[in-house]
Amino acid sequence: MCGIVGAVAQRDVDLILLEGLRRLEYRGYDSAGMCIVSESGALNKVRRVGKVIELSKALADQPLRGHTGLAHTRWATHGGVTEDNAHPHVSHQRISIVHNGIIENFEALRQEIVAAGIELRSQTDSELIAHLIYQQVSSGHSLLDALAATAQRLHGAYALAVMDRDDPSTLVGTRSGSPLVVGIGLGEHFLASDAGALLPVTRQFVYLEEGDLVAIRTDGFEVYDRSMIPVTRELFESSLNADAVDKGGYRHYMLKEIHQQPDVVAETLEGRIIDNHLVADCFGPESEALFAKVEAIHIIACGTSYHAGLVARYWIEAIAGLPCHVEIASEYRYRSPAVPDNTLFVTISQSGETADTLSALREAGRRDYLATMTICNVPESSLIRESDLAFMTRAGVEIGVASTKAFTTQVTALMLFTMALARHHGMSAAQEADLVAELRALPGQIRSILQIETDIARVAEDFTGKEHALFLGRGTEFPIAMEGALKLKEISYIHAEAYAAGELKHGPLALVDDHLPVIVSASSSELLAKLVSNLQEVRARGGQLYIFADQDADLVASDQVHLITLPVNHSTLSPILQTIPLQLLAYYVAVNRGTDVDQPRNLAKSVTVE
Ligand code: G6P
């Protein structure tokens, strides 16, 4: 989703801003722009529809020089994808702003600005903010006071960075519902939507809290809370690697991230299992006492993270014997769920900044939960900071919009969570030792599935001309079928649906003919016989079956049955293993169809608006 970079330095900032935008590209966007105060005190801006590369070409023809500037990648909400709607927006050639988020009282503010005789140049909610701030500064308020007064009038989500042509020594910013970090350099300071944008220039960051305002200059910065009381926020030294955003020789980030899975899953397990047991307090020192009290689990997440939660439900109910409810955050936040006594509220998120998941957590805070916990991939993210317990997946930076390694590390973490609960709810030492052994084998098993990549690439060729696909699974492979369908639709734009195989005859069977590929995740569990009956129903109607089965499944290929045997045996962790071929399938179908694999149209990596 939209990305912000701002800089105040003693050198030209155009290249810093451009590199920052490049590093924010993964968030998803459709236009980009930059505005810099020149040495002669003019606001100069360049904006382009499309990728950052288009902006960079425009800047080569029309360079922007100066020591204070703002830049932005826009993901359209109010108003189409046009140059006029791209940020930065400017008011009266004096105030320039970039905005991430969505302003809900947009219409009322628009009418007010139009009534004041100001001609709007865009259809955005963001331009209105520039004019509101201008009105304040032109009536004598400082830029920071003007921002504070304006922020109080905004309903919705925002991260804002603002620049005043008449005082380029200072940039101001604020956030509510969308992230904003301050980067601390030597004789220069920065603002950005995420720390990754600024890694080439600093490793020291301050994460603003909800409602915070900040003023940055070359020689320092000050943070204020929403009542304009000066506050001190903790300084973080980032451990992120500046090279983490390189493709490392792979054609796409997604392919690199698929191949990183053996290592990052091993990383997620590191120090959390020892000998034949789970490390008791790997969910934090308070977790032991807390988990003993837990009587029910509510898991809330969006997108791929939601699918991870769905896998966990099977495990938590079967292994820990605790009722587990899993729900999409955007639904949960607007209803009144019944919360049983001693329920633990759990969010799952790669980014830790997804607006709906964050709002759900805040809703949960108003309800009667035992405690809140997050399973998250980004340290210092809002979910981590606002949850009682936090468990880090260690997937590293994930750039591809379609989540891969974040998912497999989440599901791995969720097995650890299941075991941590089950220790207090009847799991035997032998069962724990078996699960630990399966976890230890996992990285090697993922590695062996990656060995059959070329077989999967060959299968993907059959899908190039297709417009629809159906994914089937049973038990823990049902959420994997959902994840497989999501991957395929996200990056190849083929319409894909997932069904629990047992539901086939209640509707989707009507779709089956000899054009429809049906992709099946078949793990040799007690449900295999049932699944085989469902597959016969597809075959009898001429459907083309693509079955990903483990070695124990003992299925045979035939005319309509393309069998891809995974070089692994069945285990409790089969859903993790079954995910890998579906990721590769989606990837190669997308490559064959020539889509933008890493940044699919209309999608964003980090969805920071509702
Ligand atoms: C977006 C991303 C998905 C992700 C979802 C939830 O839709 O494109 O890949 O699964 O958000 O994001 P989160 O960061 O909360 O896991």
The DSSP line for 337-397 is ----TTEEEEEEESSS--HHHHHHHHHHHTTT-SEEEEEESSTT-HHHHHSSEEEE-----
pLDDT at res. 512: 84
* Cβ of residue 525 lying under 6 Å from some atom of ligand 1: no
Give the lowest-confidence range in 531-535, 547-551, 583-587. 531-535
Q: Please give the number of the atom of ligand 1 that sits closest to the Cα of 490.
A: 8
Residue 343 and residue 403 in one domain:
yes
Indicate the pLDDT class of residue 483, thresholds 50, 70 and 90: very high
* Cβ of residue 305 lying under 6 Å from some atom of ligand 1: yes
What is the 3-class SS of 37-75, one letter each residue?
ECCCCCEEEEEEECCHHHHHHHHHHCCCCCCEEEEEEEC
The identity of residue 6, as a single letter, is G
Residue 76 pLDDT > 90: no
pLDDT at res. 492: 96
Which CATH number characterizes residue 58's domain? Answer: 3.60.20.10
Residue 375 and residue 466 in one domain:
no
Residue 244 pLDDT > 70: no
- Mean pLDDT (whole number) for 250-258: 95
Distance 215 CA to ligand 1 centre (A): 31
Distance 412 CA to ligand 1 centre (A): 17
Domain end, chosen from 385, 417, 446, is at: 446
Q: Is residue 159 part of a domain?
A: yes
β-pair partners for 296: 343
pLDDT at res. 2: 86
The whole-angstrom separation of Cα 306 and Cα 329 is: 9
* Cβ of residue 609 lying under 6 Å from some atom of ligand 1: no
Ligand 1: which residue has its CA nearest to atom 4?
303
Assess contact for 199 and 185: CB atoms under 8 A: no
Q: Is residue 471 part of a domain?
A: yes
Distance 377 CA to ligand 1 centre (A): 11
Q: Which two tokens stand for residue 394?
A: 């260690």
The DSSP secondary structure of 581-599, one letter per residue, reads: HHHHHHHHHHHHHT--SSS
Ligand 1: which residue has its CA nearest to atom 5?
303
Taking residue 49's Cβ as centre, other Cβ atoms within 10 Å add up to 18
Indicate the pLDDT class of residue 332, thresholds 50, 70 and 90: very high
pLDDT at res. 120: 96
* Cβ of residue 384 lying under 6 Å from some atom of ligand 1: no
Domain end, chosen from 413, 446, 479, is at: 446
pLDDT at res. 242: 63
Residue 221 and residue 358 in one domain:
no
The whole-angstrom separation of Cα 380 and Cα 247 is: 25
Residue 150 and residue 235 in one domain:
yes
Which CATH number characterizes residue 503's domain? Answer: 3.40.50.10490
Q: Which two tokens stand for residue 541?
A: 């109607």
Nearest by Cα to 170 from 161, 159, 160:
161
Residue 32 and residue 131 in one domain:
yes
In a 10 Å sphere around its CB, with 0-12 CB exposed, 13-18 middle and 19+ buried, how is residue 38 labelled?
middle
Residue 584 pLDDT > 80: yes
Indicate the pLDDT class of residue 134, thresholds 50, 70 and 90: very high
Domain end, chosen from 195, 210, 240, is at: 240
Q: Is residue 607 part of a domain?
A: no
* Cβ of residue 309 lying under 6 Å from some atom of ligand 1: no
pLDDT digits (tens, 9 = 90+) for 18-60: 999 998 887 778 999 999 999 999 999 999 999 999 999 999 9
* Cβ of residue 349 lying under 6 Å from some atom of ligand 1: yes
Percent residues over pLDDT 70 in the chain: 99
pLDDT at res. 219: 96
The catalytic residues are 2, 605
The whole-angstrom separation of Cα 337 and Cα 360 is: 11
Pocket test for ligand 1, best of 356, 607, 608, 609 (most atoms within 8 A of CB): 607
Residue 392 and residue 517 in one domain:
no
pLDDT at res. 449: 96
* Cβ of residue 476 lying under 6 Å from some atom of ligand 1: no
Residue 127 and residue 189 in one domain:
yes
Q: Please give the number of the atom of ligand 1 that sits closest to the Cα of 604.
A: 8
Residue 200 and residue 280 in one domain:
no
List, in sequence order, every beta strand (DSSP E) within 165-232. Answer: 171-176, 181-184, 189-192, 204-207, 213-217, 220-224, 230-231
pLDDT digits (tens, 9 = 90+) for 424-440: 998 999 999 999 999 99
Residue 467 and residue 593 in one domain:
yes
Q: Is residue 561 part of a domain?
A: yes
* Cβ of residue 377 lying under 6 Å from some atom of ligand 1: no
The total number of structural domains that make up the chain: 3
pLDDT digits (tens, 9 = 90+) for 193-222: 988 899 999 999 998 988 999 999 999 999
Q: Is residue 572 part of a domain?
A: yes
* Cβ of residue 27 lying under 6 Å from some atom of ligand 1: no
Distance 305 CA to ligand 1 centre (A): 7
Residue 397 and residue 463 in one domain:
no
Q: Please give the number of the atom of ligand 1 that sits closest to the Cα of 401.
A: 8
* Cβ of residue 359 lying under 6 Å from some atom of ligand 1: no
Ligand 1: which residue has its CA nearest to atom 2?
605
Burial string for 232-260 (b: 16+ CB within 10 Å, else e) reads: eeeebebebeeeebeeeeeebbbbbbbbb
* Cβ of residue 487 lying under 6 Å from some atom of ligand 1: no
* Cβ of residue 302 lying under 6 Å from some atom of ligand 1: yes
Distance 301 CA to ligand 1 centre (A): 9
**3-state class (DSSP) for residue 243:** helix
Ligand 1: which residue has its CA nearest to atom 8?
605
Pocket test for ligand 1, best of 29, 305, 383 (most atoms within 8 A of CB): 305
Residue with tokens 């800047």: 59
Distance 453 CA to ligand 1 centre (A): 25
Q: Is residue 609 part of a domain?
A: no
pLDDT at res. 10: 96
Q: Is residue 606 part of a domain?
A: no
Backbone angles phi, psi at 134, to 5 degrees: -60, -45
pLDDT at res. 177: 77
The whole-angstrom separation of Cα 28 and Cα 1 is: 5
List, in sequence order, every beta strand (DSSP E) within 220-332. Answer: 220-224, 230-231, 235-237, 273-274, 277-278, 296-301, 324-328
Distance 147 CA to ligand 1 centre (A): 30
Q: Is residue 344 part of a domain?
A: yes
Distance 123 CA to ligand 1 centre (A): 27
Q: Which domain holds residue 170?
A: 3-240
pLDDT at res. 517: 92
Residue 171 and residue 320 in one domain:
no
Q: Please give the number of the atom of ligand 1 that sits closest to the Cα of 378.
A: 14
Q: Please give the number of the atom of ligand 1 that sits closest to the Cα of 383.
A: 15
The whole-angstrom separation of Cα 471 and Cα 499 is: 6
pLDDT digits (tens, 9 = 90+) for 143-174: 999 999 999 999 988 999 999 999 999 999 99
Residue 474 and residue 441 in one domain:
no
Distance 393 CA to ligand 1 centre (A): 15
Distance 350 CA to ligand 1 centre (A): 7
Pocket test for ligand 1, best of 26, 383, 397, 403 (most atoms within 8 A of CB): 403
* Cβ of residue 136 lying under 6 Å from some atom of ligand 1: no
pLDDT at res. 196: 86
Indicate the pLDDT class of residue 243, thresholds 50, 70 and 90: low
* Cβ of residue 409 lying under 6 Å from some atom of ligand 1: no
Distance 348 CA to ligand 1 centre (A): 10
Q: Select the more confidently predicted residue: 289 or 604.
A: 289
Q: Please give the number of the atom of ligand 1 that sits closest to the Cα of 354.
A: 15
* Cβ of residue 482 lying under 6 Å from some atom of ligand 1: no
